[in-house]
């Protein structure tokens, strides 16, 4: 019997069926030990990072598919990049089927955790934080999956990003849920992406809460099919601290949800309150561009059953104060620049249109007036984003 068992073990081992756990504890030479573990891990392995503070001088990277990187918790395992000397991010993942869970990245020089062309990636129970609070010198993105299919970001906390706390770019099939994002320029940004569900997140004290954008001159354009629902989007009034030149530097302080140059975006059942410029803003891309394949207009946007709190009491855009004075001292909760097509709202909140007719038209030409965007012909929702079972199964 023993022999049989041994033979079975040998057989399994020879087919690499055994996932092993590589443990890395805090202490001297953490950089090289942790990076070595991330290089030597085999598909199916877990790199277990111990409790404590890991002082790191360079970015870490993982390029092995099917690896789980697991810490002892977002407050217990801390990857500290305060003295980072090189690399553009704290941790870079470039392989498929990776799970990142239970650790923190603090004060990275650039982005916190980036994954590129990393399909079926799971970000779970993480914390990325710039501990000095909002500052232009903080890194750009906290959690940054890009050019990937099937992306799950959940149960994580991001604070202090000088661009977006959670940024998903040029990707397809995305779920962002149950996160807390605060003190970032943008809380959550879905950019040049297809099929995203953003729900049940706590989005507060950012400059802008949730952004759904599309930009020109990029490999993937034509962002569409995004659902933003059941989020708490409150008090996003942190003065914009993004470096100029970045698109988020143009986001007015006090923005709840902003939809720009996207198609088929449904925003529903959110609680949106206390955003000084606007609870929901629907606009086209206004800058000059040279790209025949780019559509700068918002299309097929639908708002429904959102609960609106106070908004529009401190509009942060040129002419905003005058505009507010003209409509009774305070802007209504929903702002639309007037461009695009099939912009609809069944929310019980007033919509102010700027009456513009083309992308890039000067706000000086605005003809603001309240508009009724109500419809009885409810547009069909974008489909629910369903991720591969294995990504959900890892949820425990």
Partner 1 sequence: MIRALAALFGWLALVSASAAQPGRAPVALDVILGDTLPRNLSEFRFFSDGIGQTPNARVIGYELNTPLFSDYAVKQRFAFVPEGQTVRYTEEGVLDFPVGSALIKSFGYPADFRDPGSPVRWIETRVLLRRESGWVALPYIWNEDGSEAVLARAGRRLPASWIDAQGETQAISYRVPNQNQCKGCHARHDEITLIGPQARNLNDGSRLAQWVDWGFLDRAPVDAPRLPVWDDESDGSLAERARAYLDVNCAHCHNRDGPASNSGLFLQYQEADTVARGILKRPVAAGRGSGNLAFDIAPGDPDRSILLFRMQTDDPGIAMPELGRALLHREAIALIRRYIAEMPQPAS
List contacts with partner 1 (CB under 8 A): 31-33, 35-36, 38-40, 57-58, 61-63, 84-88, 92, 94, 108-111, 116-117, 136-141, 144, 146-147, 162-163, 167, 169-170, 215, 217-219, 243-247, 287, 289-291
Q: How far is the CB of 372 from partner 1 (least distance, A)?
A: 35
Q: How far is the CB of 280 from partner 1 (least distance, A)?
A: 24
Kindly tell me which of 245 and 328 has the beta carbon lying closer to partner 1: 245
Kindly tell me which of 189 and 347 has the beta carbon lying closer to partner 1: 189
Q: How far is the CB of 61 from partner 1 (least distance, A)?
A: 4
C-alpha–C-alpha distance, residues 310 and 312, integer Å:
7
Kindly tell me which of 40 and 341 has the beta carbon lying closer to partner 1: 40
- Here the tokens at position 332 are 């209504």
Q: How far is the CB of 98 from partner 1 (least distance, A)?
A: 13
Q: How far is the CB of 11 from partner 1 (least distance, A)?
A: 21
Element (H, E) at 10: helix 2-14
CA 181 to chain centre: 9
Grouping H, G, I as helix, E, B as strand and the rest as coil, residue 31 is: helix
- Here the tokens at position 340 are 């695009």
C-alpha–C-alpha distance, residues 89 and 86, integer Å:
9
Kindly tell me which of 131 and 137 has the beta carbon lying closer to partner 1: 137
Residue 168 buriedness (CB in 10 A; 0-12 / 13-18 / 19+):
buried
Q: How far is the CB of 332 from partner 1 (least distance, A)?
A: 31
**Cβ–Cβ contacts within 10 Å for residue 111, how many?**
26
- Here the tokens at position 239 are 């003065």
C-alpha–C-alpha distance, residues 378 and 125, integer Å:
36
Q: How far is the CB of 150 from partner 1 (least distance, A)?
A: 16
Kindly tell me which of 189 and 316 has the beta carbon lying closer to partner 1: 189
CA 217 to chain centre: 21
Kindly tell me which of 58 and 269 has the beta carbon lying closer to partner 1: 58
Kindly tell me which of 87 and 231 has the beta carbon lying closer to partner 1: 87
- Here the tokens at position 22 are 């590589």
Kindly tell me which of 12 and 135 has the beta carbon lying closer to partner 1: 135
Q: How far is the CB of 365 from partner 1 (least distance, A)?
A: 20
C-alpha–C-alpha distance, residues 330 and 314, integer Å:
8
C-alpha–C-alpha distance, residues 333 and 310, integer Å:
7
- Here the tokens at position 370 are 């309240």
C-alpha–C-alpha distance, residues 345 and 372, integer Å:
8
Grouping H, G, I as helix, E, B as strand and the rest as coil, residue 13 is: helix
Grouping H, G, I as helix, E, B as strand and the rest as coil, residue 148 is: coil
Strand partners, 154: 124, 177
């Amino acid at each position: 019997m023993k022999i049989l068992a041994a033979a079975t073990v040998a057989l399994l081992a020879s087919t690499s069926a055994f996932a092993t756990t590589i443990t890395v504890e805090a202490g001297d030479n953490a950089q090289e030990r942790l990076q070595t573990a991330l290089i030597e891990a085999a598909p199916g392995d877990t790199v277990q990072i111990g409790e404590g503070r890991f002082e790191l001088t360079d970015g870490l990277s993982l390029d092995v598919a099917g690896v789980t990187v697991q810490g002892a918790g977002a407050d217990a395992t801390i990857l500290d990049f305060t003295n980072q000397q090189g690399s553009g991010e704290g941790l870079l993942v470039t392989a498929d089927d990776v799970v990142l869970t239970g650790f923190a990245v603090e004060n990275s020089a650039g982005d916190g955790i980036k994954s590129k062309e990393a399909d079926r990636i799971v970000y779970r129970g993480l914390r990325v934080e710039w501990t000095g609070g909002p500052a232009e010198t903080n890194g750009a993105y906290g959690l940054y999956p890009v050019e990937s299919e099937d992306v799950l970001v959940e149960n994580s906390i991001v604070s202090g990003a000088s661009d977006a706390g959670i940024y998903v770019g040029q990707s397809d099939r995305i779920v962002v849920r149950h996160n807390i994002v605060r003190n970032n320029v943008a809380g959550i940004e879905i950019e040049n992406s297809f099929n995203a569900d953003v729900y049940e997140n706590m989005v507060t004290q950012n400059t802008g809460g949730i952004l759904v954008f599309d930009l020109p001159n990029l490999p993937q354009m034509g962002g569409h099919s995004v659902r933003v629902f059941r989020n708490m989007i409150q008090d996003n009034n942190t003065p914009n601290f993004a470096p100029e030149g970045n698109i988020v530097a143009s986001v007015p302080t006090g923005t709840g949800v902003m939809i720009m140059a996207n198609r088929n975006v449904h925003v529903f059942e959110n609680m949106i309150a206390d955003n000084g410029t606007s609870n929901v803003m629907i606009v086209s891309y206004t800058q000059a561009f040279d790209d025949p394949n780019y559509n700068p207009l918002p299309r097929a946007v639908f708002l429904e059953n959102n609960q609106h709190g106070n908004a529009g009491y401190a509009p942060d855009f040129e002419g905003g104060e005058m505009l507010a004075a003209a409509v009774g001292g305070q802007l209504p909760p929903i702002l639309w620049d007037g461009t695009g097509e099939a912009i609809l709202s069944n929310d019980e909140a007033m919509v102010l249109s700027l009456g513009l007719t083309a992308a890039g038209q000067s706000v000086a030409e605005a003809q603001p007036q309240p508009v009724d965007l109500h419809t009885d012909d409810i547009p069909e929702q974008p489909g629910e984003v369903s991720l591969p079972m294995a990504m959900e199964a890892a949820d425990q």
